[in-house]
A and B are shown apart, each in its own frame.
Chain A
Amino acid sequence: NAGVTQTPKFQVLKTGQSMTLQCAQDMNHNSMYWYRQDPGMGLRLIYYSASEGTTDKGEVPNGYNVSRLNKREFSLRLESAAPSQTSVYFCASSESRDRGTTEAFFGQGTRLTVV
């Protein structure tokens, strides 16, 4: 049982390049999330998807787009990377959109550096 799988694990981009971060979960969860983690700032929500076919902006959505391809997969795209997007990106999923007692399960992260 893999849980939440993210690819790639590491990436270096030049300013202006584009890329897509992939995320897949095998727990049949409805909700999926993308966070970025920066030193001293905890995790900040970029986008989330309550269910297949829906996406919503989180706290820091500028410069990103997402696609909920199906129930398993939720991708994050950087159209024109900027140095400010250098960060560690985490994908997460949770069981239900209504039950606050349900915890989120996290992938291993993608370390992205934009030069």
Chain B
Amino acid sequence: AQSVTQLGSHVSVSEGALVLLRCNYSSSVPPYLFWYVQYPNQGLQLLLKYTSAATLVKGINGFEAEFKKSETSFHLTKPSAHMSDAAEYFCAVSFFSGSARQLTFGSGTQLTVLP
């Protein structure tokens, strides 16, 4: 079964500091991995995705994530946090079940950016 674990339901960083949001996955086959962001009262928006082409994936808004097979991790980072980065972030793994691809989501990490 595919599963995703996000360590830390709440993360606070100061503006300008490094952002690190952790995600570990469990997958019996090579995974397709995603990071989504959710701003208050909105739907989910794709930040970036890993599709096995490169282990370091760059996304929107300066975010990037590195796929580490040996650690089964796909942590999200941004060198310098901005106030506008405050949101909830979800890691997800894609797998084929039944007749369609499905996404299994982690429980989410709420990022707070302090001035």
Residues of A within 8 A of B (CB): 4, 31, 33, 40-45, 48-51, 54, 56, 58, 90, 92, 94, 96-109
Contact = CB atoms under 8 A, between A and B. Distances in A.
A33 B104 CA distance: 12
Given A40-B107, A41-B107, A42-B105, A103 B46 contact: yes
Given A106-B44, A108-B42, A98 B101 contact: yes
Contacts of B96: 98, 100
A102 B101 contact: yes
Instruction: Decide if the interface of chain B is mainly helix, strand, loop or mixed.
Output: strand
A42 B49 CA distance: 18
A106 B98 contact: no
Given A40-B9, A42-B108, A43-B90, A97 B101 contact: yes
Contacts of A45: 102-104
For B41, B51, B99, the residue with the greatest tally of chain A CB atoms inside 10 Å of its CB is B99
Interface residues of B, number: 27
B100 A103 contact: no
B49 A48 contact: no
Contacts of B98: 48, 50, 56
A50 B9 CA distance: 32
B34 A42 contact: no
B114 to A, nearest CB: 22
22 contacts: A4-B43, A40-B9, A40-B108, A41-B107, A42-B108, A43-B103, A48-B98, A50-B99, A56-B98, A58-B102, A94-B101, A96-B101, A97-B99, A98-B101, A100-B32, A100-B51, A101-B51, A104-B103, A105-B46, A106-B44, A108-B43, A109-B41
